[in-house]
Each structure stands twice: as C-alpha cells, then as structure tokens.
Structure 1
Amino acid sequence: MAATEEQEKAGNEQYQSKHMNAIFQEGFSFSGYERDLISWNLDGREFLDISGVTGADSISDGRGSVYADFDNDGDLDIFLVALQGDAHYLFRNNVGSSNRFLRVTLVGGDSGRDAFGAVVRLKTSHGVQTRVRTGGSGFLSQHDPRLLFGLGSDQLVEWMEVTWPGGQTQRWERVAAGSYVVHQGQQQIERIREPLSPLPDPTSEREDLIALLTFGPGDRFPDLELTPMEGESTSLHQLTRSGKRTFINLWTTFCIPCRKEMPALQRLQADFQAQGIQLVGISLDRQDTAPSIPKFLERLGIDYPSYTGGPNSMQQIYSGDEAQIPLSFLLDEEARVLQVFGGWSLETRDAIHALLEK
C-alpha cells in the first residue's frame, strides 16, 4: 500500500523527490550559486528564515563562514568565504541594539591553553545560556574564540559557571555585563576593556558603478568612434560640439532591460529637446550581433540618433571585464560627465523624469 503524506519517512523515494523539488524552488542548485541561508532561532521552538531581510542571501556560494564580533560592539558579524568570485564577504551586524552583553575569554591550564571543550553557563532573567569553546566551525574556518552572551537589559548575571575539560568547575555570583578573561584555577576574573573597532561602511551602488568605469563624474567622456545607421563615421566629441548637453544611452540587442528602457526614452524625446538636451543611443554589440541592430531599432520604434561604438569602445568605457548595460550619462557641452544612470529601474526612470522637469 502506498504511504500517505503523513506516513512518509526520510529515505523514502517519494519523500526524497518532494524534498528536492521543495529546495530547488527555494533557490538550491547543484551547479553553484546557491543562495546563502541565515536563520533566527525562535527560543528553540523553530527557525525563521531571515536571509533576505538581513541581506545575507547572496548567490556567492558560501563554502565557509565565521561568526565573530569583528567591531567589538557586542553582536556577532559574519565573514563568508565564497566559492564564486574573487572576493569574500563581511556582513556587519548593524541592527543598532543598545542591549548589554557578557563576553568571556577562557585561558586553560592543565587542560590546554585554548580550553577546547570548556562549557560556560550563566543565568539571566531570561533563563540559562550555554556556550562551548570549540576549535573548528566549518570548512577551513573557526568562530570567535571569545564566548558572547546576550543579556538584554540586564546589568548583571545571577551567576556564571565554567566547567573545564578536565572536569573542574568554577562559579561566580552576580557578574556585571562586560568583557572578562577567565584563567583556569583562578577565582579572580579579569575585567577588560575592548575598544570599539568600527568597520568601514559598505560601498554604495553608485560607488560600485563608478568603479567599473575608466572615468568618473566631472571627467570627459571617452572620445568613442561612432558609426551611424546611415552616413559617415564620427566621434563622440564631434557630436558634443553642438553647444548642447547630451544624454547618452549605452545598450545592446541582447540586453533585456534595454528593450524597456529604449522605448521609454523614445517617448521622452520631445522632453529632452525642450530642455536643450540631445538624446543619443550607442550600441556596444559584439561583431557577431551587430547585423541585427537595424531590425532591433525598427522593432522597438526608435528614431532618435543611434550609433554603434567602435571596436575599442568597451575598453574605453569599462575599467575591467565587468560591464553594466544599460547605462546612461548626462554630459555637459564639453562632454564632461554630469550624471550617471545605472541600469533600468523605477529609480532610474524617476531620476530621468526629474532631470527633464528642471
């Protein structure tokens, strides 16, 4: 008799099939780029997936993680070793809680200086908390050796107890919030001051975008070689000699967002003209896709001036192998960059509308 859903057991073929379907729907992949997961322990009752809220659900394919209070502010930050890409990630815990904490650094004696295996327990108004001093915590990684306890609004703990690897137990009553060093066999615990070490703020999307370019705001836009759909070749700096500001939109025929952005710009062509801004589209298509450009423009109904960039355009614009398209720029009368508009989104659309309403 076939098992009902309630009767299915782990290892059952039907169970495995449903389980795999469920985790694939949640973004799991055997081919890499699985989203990283972080869960919130709800007092031991269940775990809540808060990956998206925290910003830690990247597709970096984490292969090792370390939990440590890197900035000494009393909460744990996450350092992630990523399989995909050249960079690793430091997720700063920036909730901003003003609650108190107690941190313990253990120094072992006969059981070894690192005191691996020691157990620290303490009693707060919320109950008993337990931490174990461990040596490893994942692939080529180890968590903060200091044991951190959250106290909420409590100014002290009722008691703190350390059970060392050899079985010796030490206990202290009414320990105030703060950071301590505890030596095995010594009843006097040492309170220490751990200065805050502020972590740098993450770069903004705008800063990340500018870092992709060979130039920045205030610089002259590169003098690209340009070929119109009909007529003789020209250059970007020749186009900007009209004494007008220029709005440049970079696109390709294989760029999906471009298919939404370009018709939107077409509808705004009269508004650009009213503001004394010439609207120019520049294709960065590869040689193999360039023949499809005329039909692409016709299909989208684009009739504002459009050009194809020369063979060195990508190297002139982008500082490395990574390129963001679509990408738009507002240039002044001397081809200096006034504004940069990355991608196509509601924010980009609103920024362009705001430009045309001035």
Structure 2
Amino acid sequence: MTQNNTQKATGTLRNDQNRLIFKKGFSFSGYERDALFMNRDGKKFMDISGISGIDSISDGRAAVFADFDNDGDEDVFLTTIQGPGHLLFRNNVGQDNHWLRIILDGGKETGRDAYGSVVRVKTSARTLTKVKAGGSGFLAQSDPRLLFGLGQDPAAQSIEVTWSNGRVENFSADARAGSTLWLHYGTGRAEEVELAQSKLPDPLTKAESLARGLKFRIGERLPSIEVHSTSGQAVNLRDIVRPGRRAIVNLWATWCIPCAKEMPELNRLRAAFAQNGVDLIGLNLDTDPDAHIREFLQRVPVDYPIYKGGAAAIEQLFATEEVAVPLSVIVDQNGHVEQLISGWSSETKQKFEALTRSTTPH
C-alpha cells in the first residue's frame, strides 16, 4: 500500500485501499467464515461449512435460497463485498428424497404474492410449516415458491393455507411427490404446473480457472514477447525456444515463495530434461525496476538461462490482474503450448519428473 501525507497521495492511498478490499479480498470483519449446518433428523445439526465450500472468508452482503435448477432442493446464492462478487452453490444433498413445491396466488384479497401467508403440509412423519416471506438480508429475496420435503412419501396427505388476511383454506389435490402446485385463493383447488428442470454448471476445475486467467491457450503458439537477458540483451521469447526441441518456460518472481522452492528442483532436473530433448528457461515477471533479481538468484542459484519480462510480459500473458506464479508453460517441438503446470507441490513435481522420461505430452 502507498501512503504519505501529501494531498496528491490521498487518491493513491484510497485507490490502493479499494484494490485491497474489493479486488484482493481484504476483509472488513476479520475474515469471518460463512457457516452452513445440516439438520440431522431434527435432533442435531452437523457443520458442513468446509466440505460444502461455502466457508468463504469474504464479507457477505446477502444469502438467497432458491431452487435455481428446479430439481426439488434449495441452492444457495451469496453476494459478497469483495473478491468474486457472486457465489452459487448447487445443492446435491438428499437427492433420493421426495418433495412438493407450492406457489401461492392470493388474488385481490391478500395480494397476488400472498406475503405473510402460512402453508402447512402434512406428511406421514409430521406437519411441515412455512411462511411466505418477501425477503431477507440486504436487498435480497429468496425463492417465492415454497419447497416441502416429503421424505419417502409418495404424496402429501393434506395442504392447509392460512392466508395473510386470516382466512384458513384446505386444498384438495393430488399432491404427489415431485409436483408443483399453484394454490388460488378462495377456490380450494390446486393447479398442477410443469416446470422445466435445468442443469447448473459444474464448478471450474483448477485447470479451467487457470486457463481463464491467461491470454493464450493450449494448442496455440507461444506468445511473441520481447524479453531481456540478465545482461540486458533484448530477444523474442519465441526465438529462445529452439526448433525441434521441447521447452519448459518457467514463470517466476522474487516475491513468490513457492518459486524459491521450485527453482532448485527444476535446476536439479535440468540435465535430465536436456537429455530428453527438453530445454529449461526461466522468465522473471517482477514489475518493480528495483527488484533484487540478482540477489535472489544468488540465494537461489540456477544453471539454466534467466530472462526478464516485467510488466510487458504480464500484459501479454495474463488476462486478469492475478499473476499466478510459479507457472510453467510446456512448449512442443513446433513452438506450440502443450501443457501448463501451475504451482509447486508433490503433484507438480511428479509432472516435471515425467518430462525427463517421455517425449510425448502428458
């Protein structure tokens, strides 16, 4: 963060603060995690925050519960102040149980939306009660359609509505499991409606998320970028990769802790890479001209060539402000990107070791 006492710097400070809060995920409330609990037969609750993925440290603004895909269970939609602004969590719990969906039409007497009305659905186990509410949280409204879980019952035994004006009405209907019923005020009848099911998209894999943050794709030519050797000589990145040989272009930065762990391991494998027709190239992405690259390389010595790309390389490689390093771009014999290896772990180490044994992509 940039800070000094001059008036000119005030805007810079505020911009940096906004960047930390809204872009980088800086928290107003101490990184409190969101919680999600699952009802265990009405006897206790189980904390499933972690395994559900909903335990975000972002500052939430509102939570909406709605059956977005019409599969009979409520999904969760969160809005946050910073970081990813919208988070959709698909509910896959209890898919074998039955359900009944109720839509209320209060007409002129209680208002078409029938807010404040109470619906009671009787099952073999108990009577379930829900209130038609207009919203909750900050500028949020959950699904106006009311979902009732029937367990393994093939149908609900009865449906009773206490409308918001106090009138109690029983509805006769074939309230079979998996159906959606539209209840009209004052008629005592329920109209069954058909709702098309949809499929919510699967979450992005790590590889898909990484690909979205890059300006180049697997199968494309290595980007044409002017880089500089440690002695200051300008050269195109494509020209560094020798024709007929594969290459590992390892992106790193001095501020990257995993890079300092990965680079010695890559250096250890350098001879094995070369013997298998794979050249190893390092590309530094520090944007600060005062970055102590030479000092870093003295602490983390490597024998393979190092080039400096800086801000210009970042601009041509990354599609977002998120610079994901370490990142190794595996280039085939024709200069096309064939694989991406992101981060440093035992898994990525195995991927690098595989490059010492085979001349075909993995």
TM-score for both structures, normalised by structure 2: 0.84
Matched with 1:265 is 266
8 Å Cα contact 1:227/1:310 also seen in 2: no
Q: Which SS does the other structure have where 1:182 is aligned? A: strand
Q: Provide the residue aligned with 2:125 in structure 1.
A: 126
Deviation of 1:281 (Å): 0.9
C-alpha separation in 1, matches of 2:41 and 2:33: 25
Q: CA deviation at 1:71?
A: 0.7
What is the CA-CA distance between 1:32 and the residue it aligns to? 6.0
Q: Residues 262 and 116 from structure 1, CA distance in 2 versus in 1: closer, same or farther, beyond 3 angstroms?
A: same
What are the Cα deviations for residues 302-339 of structure 1, in whole angstroms up to 9, with x where unaligned? 22222212551111111232221111111123321111
1:107 maps to a residue whose letter is D
Structure 1 residue 205: Cα displacement: 2.0
Q: Distance in 1 between matches of 2:268 and 2:92?
A: 43
Q: SS state of the match for residue 260, structure 1? A: helix
> Contact (CA 8 Å) 2:29, 2:59: kept in 1 or not?
no
2:36 pairs, out of 29, 35, 38, with 38
State whether residues 63 and 78 of structure 2, in contact with CA within 8 Å, keep that contact through their aligned partners in structure 1: yes
How many percent of aligned residue pairs carry the same amino acid? 48
Whether the 8 Å contact between 1:228 and 1:307 is mirrored in structure 2 is yes
Q: Are 1:51 and 2:57 counterparts? A: no
Give yes or no for contact 2:62–2:137 (8 Å, CA) kept in 1: yes
Aligned partners of 2:227 and 2:236 also within 8 Å:
yes
Residue 209 of structure 2 aligns to a residue in which SS?
helix
1:103 to 1:332, Cα distance in 2 relative to 1, 3 A: same
Counterparts of 2:218 and 2:94, CA distance in 1: 34
Quote how far apart the aligned CAs of 1:134 are.
0.6
Secondary structure at the counterpart of residue 165 of structure 1: coil
Q: 1:104 aligns with which of 96, 102, 105?
A: 102
Report the secondary structure of 2:355's partner residue: helix
Tell me which amino acid in the other structure corresponds to 1:152: G
Name structure 2 gaps, 5 residues minimum: 1-25
Classify the secondary structure of the residue corresponding to 1:278.
strand
Q: 1:88 aligns with which of 74, 78, 86?
A: 86
Q: 2:60 aligned to 28, 39, 62, which one?
A: 62
CA contact (8 A) 2:251 2:328 kept: yes
Contact kept, 8 Å, 2:286 with 2:310, in 1: the verdict is no
Listed one character per residue, the Cα deviations across residues 124-179 of structure 1 (whole Å, up to 9, x for unaligned) are 23322111101111110011000001112110122221111122212246732211
Partner of residue 226, structure 1: 227
* Change over 3 Å in CA distance of 1:301–1:135 after alignment to 2: same
1:215 aligns with 2:213: no
Q: Is the 8 A contact 1:33 1:84 kept in 2?
A: no
Residues 4-32 of structure 1 deviation map (CA, whole Å, 9 limit, x = unaligned): xxxxxxxxxxxxxxxxxxxxxxxx96446
SS at match of 1:324: coil
Aligned to 2:277: 276
Pairing 1:1-358 to 2, within 5 Å after superposition: 30-31=28-29, 33-85=31-83, 87-95=85-93, 97-109=95-107, 110-172=109-171, 175-177=175-177, 178-230=179-231, 232-290=233-291, 292-358=292-358
Q: Give per-residue Cα distances to partners, 1:159-206, cap 9 Å, x unaligned.
A: 221111122212246732211001111122111111102223333222
Shift in alpha-carbon separation, 1:349–1:152, aligned structure 2, 3 A: farther
- Distance in 1, matches of 2:253 and 2:232, equals 21
Tell me, which stretches of 5 or more residues in structure 1 are unaligned? Answer: 1-27
Query: 1:307 corresponds to which letter in structure 2?
Result: Y
Question: SS in structure 2 opposite 1:261?
Answer: helix
What TM-score results when the alignment is normalised by the length of structure 1?
0.85
Cα distance in 1, alignment partners of residues 201 and 278 from structure 2: 39
Q: Could you tell me how far 1:353 is from its partner in structure 2?
A: 2.6
Amino acid at match of 1:93: N
CA shift, 1:341, in A, is: 1.2
Tell me the matched-pair count: 330
